[in-house]
Structure formats: structure tokens, C-alpha cells
Amino acid sequence: MIDLGRYAIPVLSAYAVSLVLIGGLVWHTVAANARARRALEEHGRDG
């Protein structure tokens, strides 16, 4: 790991927070879409 010096904790926590939030957003987006598509397919129509 490159040397982050004494600011290692702030930098890493900033990245961690952002990645967790973005990851959560992406996961929720994809999961909701998959659910909607599945429900629509069960009704017989998608597209």
C-alpha cells in the first residue's frame, strides 16, 4: 500500500463510506429492476 502518512484513516474511511454507499445504491437499483422484470414476466408480458 502506498504511504498515506498520518492521514491514512481519513482517506481510507472517506473511500470506504463512498464505496459502501455507491455499492448499496447500485445493488438496490439492480435488485429492484430484476424483481420488477420477474414480476412482469410472470404476468406474461415484458419488453
Shortest CB 13 distance to another protein, Å: 6
Establish if 32 lies at the interface with another protein (CB under 8 A).
Answer: yes
For every residue of 5-44, DSSP letters joined together read GGGHHHHHHHHHHHHHHHHHHHHHHHHHHHHHHHHHHHTT
Q: Are 34 and 42 in contact (CB under 8 A)?
A: no
Establish if 27 lies at the interface with another protein (CB under 8 A).
Answer: no
Residue numbers of the site for another protein (CB under 8 A)?
2-8, 10-11, 13-15, 17-18, 21-22, 24-26, 28-30, 32-33, 36-37, 39-40, 43, 45-47
